Every structure is written in structure tokens, then in C-alpha cells.
Copies of this chain bind each other. A is one copy, B any other.
Amino acid sequence: MSAMTTGNTSRADANRRRILDVALAELLRDPDASMDQIARAAGVVRRTVYGHFPSREALISTLVDDAVHALAAAHAAGREGVEDPAEAVARSVLAVWHIADRYRLLVALAQRTVTMQGIRERLAPVRKSSVELLQRGLDKGVFSSALPAPALAYVHEQIMFALMEAVNDGLLPPSEAGRSAAVTVLTATGVPASLAGALVTRLDD
């Protein structure tokens, strides 16, 4: 047997690493990138990739595992020995974010599905209108956030998605979800929780 069997030459290791790196970038651009695209982008032939990873799934698996391990480690490190929950959350977010910088692409990959791409594209006008509204609130001082309006619009959008998922997964009763969504979005924009609650209760009875 001479064919590559998970070898460990200097060259082999370098290639393996490069393949992983390039795959990360390539899969971001196109989540459905083929093995051939990835191989070529890594300056290597398709057959070679199969020398390092037995299947496409194995490649992606490795990628995801690496990211998750680093992320879990950062998350744990951030909150270790901190008793104040607020501080623990803050620390872990900062820690995760630091390493996430490298994997930001991978995580974003998830949002760039072909179908997702289409959805977010067509949602652009709605988002634009949201930005406008959020900007007005920030200018008036009704909202207060560390984020510029466009970024805040992303947060708004994703909070909605998060709560839809929560309902789908049975973590949240559908009857309450609407109110909760409204309150949570408002809270995220910096409106005091008590005010947000009162406002939504008044609107939705």
C-alpha cells in the first residue's frame, strides 16, 4: 500500500491544514461547494482531498468540531470562577467572541444557505424600513444601544428567528410567543424591561 492513508509528513500536514483553511473560506462563499471547488481552491487535486478526508461529510465534520471545541473552551474559560451571572455572561461572550473571530466565517456559513440567501435578500426592503424606524428611535433617545441602527436591525431579525425556533422546539408556548417577542425585541433596543412589558400589554390584550 502506497496511497495516502492519513499520513503525517510535513508536506501532508501542511496540505491538510491548508485544505481545512480553504474549505472554511470556500464553504462560506458557497455552502454547497463541491469537493472539486475546495480542492482547486487549495491548490490541490480532488483526489488528494480524499486522501485526507474519507468523505465530504468527514471534512465538514472536522471543520465544525474544531470550531465547536474552541468555542466551548472559550465559553467555559470565560465563566469559570465568576459568581455574578451578569459578569459571567459578559466574560464568556467576550471570550467566545475573541476566538469566534476565526470561526465567524463558519458560523455565518449557516446563514448563507441557498434558500436562506434568497429569504434574506428578499427581506431587504423590510429590513431597510426597520433600520429607518430604529434610527428614529435612537435619535429620539427612546432606544439606546451600543449598536448602529443597521446592526440593530440584524439583531431584531435574528431575535424573531430565535423565538420562532423556540416555539418550533416547544420551548415557548405559541400563545405567549408574540408578546414575548415584542418585549424581547424592545428590551434589546434598550427600552427598560418594565416599560416594554407595560407597552406590549397595553397593545395586545
Residues of A within 8 A of B (CB): 27, 31, 60-61, 64-65, 67-68, 71-72, 75-76, 79, 84-94, 96-98, 100-101, 104-111, 113, 115-116, 118-120, 122-123, 125-126, 129-130, 133-134, 136-137, 140, 142-148, 150-151, 154-168, 171-172, 174, 176-193, 195-197, 199-200, 203-204
CA distance A194 to B142 in the complex (A): 14
Which residues of the other chain, B, contact A85 by a CB distance below 8 angstroms?
133-134, 136-137, 140, 142-143
Contact across chains for A160 and B90 when beta carbons are under 8 A apart? no
**Cβ of A166 and Cβ of B154 under 8 Å apart?**
yes
Known A122-B65, A159-B158, A182-B93: A129·B76 in contact at CB below 8 Å: yes
The smallest C-beta distance from A28 to any residue of chain B, in angstroms, reads 9
In contact, B126 and A75 (Cβ under 8 angstroms): yes
Those 6 A-B pairs whose CB atoms lie nearest each other, nearest first: A85-B137, A158-B162, A110-B116, A97-B178, A158-B158, A151-B166
